[in-house]
Amino acid sequence: MTPEEAKDPVKSLSVMKDTGGQCKKLEVKEKGNVVTIDMQCGDPKQMSIDIVAAYTFLNAKHYTGTLKSTVILAGKKTSANKTVDSKWIGACKDAPGKKK
């Protein structure tokens, strides 16, 4: 995500809605400091992915979240439950575009 996209993450995520008809459902909602994503894409007979996520933005440099995903590929189903606690600690020394 670019610094410009980070200024409005809900708008940036909503841009994903143009999936060429591959997604049956793609909802990005914001309520207070919580952003939820509910996505169902693909065809379970070939390949599909379902994601339900919720991110809570505690301040400009800290967010937490949960993500549950189910992927079906070649008839095999894989599920994952993830949690994240992300804090900005400083700029990377070798970040792309950063002058040395």
Three-state secondary structure along 59-78? ECCEEEEEEEEEEEECCEEE
Judged against a pLDDT cut of 70, whether residue 99 lies above it is answered with no
How is the chain split among helix, strand and coil, in percent rounded to 5?
15, 55, 30
How many structural domains comprise the chain? 1
Domain range enclosing 66: 3-86
Segment 70-84, tens digit of pLDDT: 999 988 999 999 999
Is the residue at 53 inside a domain?
yes
Find the mean pLDDT for residues 4-32: 74
Amino acid at 43: D
Is the residue at 11 inside a domain?
yes
Q: What is the mean pLDDT of the chain?
A: 83
* Percent of the chain clearing pLDDT 70 (strictly above): 81
Is the residue at 92 inside a domain?
no
Q: Give pTM, 2 decimals.
A: 0.72
Is the residue at 94 inside a domain?
no
Is the residue at 98 inside a domain?
no
Is the residue at 22 inside a domain?
yes
- Give the confidence band of 97 by pLDDT, cuts at 50, 70, 90: low
Judged against a pLDDT cut of 60, whether residue 85 lies above it is answered with yes
Is the residue at 91 inside a domain?
no
Is the residue at 24 inside a domain?
yes
Segment 54-75, tens digit of pLDDT: 999 999 889 999 999 999 998 8
